Every structure is written in C-alpha cells, then in structure tokens.
C-alpha cells in the first residue's frame, strides 16, 4: 500500500467516525502522519470527555485493520 493510499484510508476512517463524535458535541480533524503517529485535533466536548481515549482507540483499531500496520492515534494541540 502506497503512502497516498494509507493517508486516504486514515482520512476515510476519521471521516466515518465524525458524525458520531459531532452528535455528542465534539469533532475530530485529521492533521497528518509523523512516523507511526496519526495526529488529530479534538475540539468541542472532546476536549473534556473522559471517553476520548476510547474513541481514539476505536479509530486506531479500524485504521490498523485496513492498513495492517501498527500506529498510534494521538491528539495534538494545533
């Protein structure tokens, strides 16, 4: 899988998660990839949500199933 294909899969997985996140008053934005780190920006209620880590873990699992490569999904301040 090419780097462009991997970026496309990552963006698609995050886009698929957004409606559920937005319905709870938050949002997530894909910022980019640095090594094995998928960097995202959390906004709204996600900033104070105790379940944000679980949400990021679910997104991580979905991405890893599709690209078959280890990675981390981490929130960054941007």
43: which strand partners? Answer: 27
Instruction: Return the percentage of the chain with pLDDT > 70, whole number.
Output: 99
**Stated pTM of the model:** 0.92
DSSP character at residue 43: E
Domain range holding 67? 3-75
Count: domains in the chain: 1
What tokens appear for 58 in the block?
């679910």
Tell me, what CATH number does 22's domain have? 3.30.300.130
CA separation for the pair 55, 52 (Å, rounded): 5
Q: What is the pLDDT of residues 57-67, one digit of tens each?
A: 999 999 999 99
């Amino acid at each position: 899988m090419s780097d462009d294909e991997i970026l496309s899969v990552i963006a698609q997985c995050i886009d698929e998660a957004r409606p559920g996140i937005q319905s709870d008053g938050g949002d997530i934005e894909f910022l980019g990839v640095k090594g094995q780190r998928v960097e995202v920006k959390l906004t709204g209620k996600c900033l104070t949500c105790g379940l944000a880590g679980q949400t990021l873990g679910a997104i991580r699992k979905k991405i890893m199933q599709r690209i078959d490569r280890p990675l981390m999904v981490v929130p960054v301040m941007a």
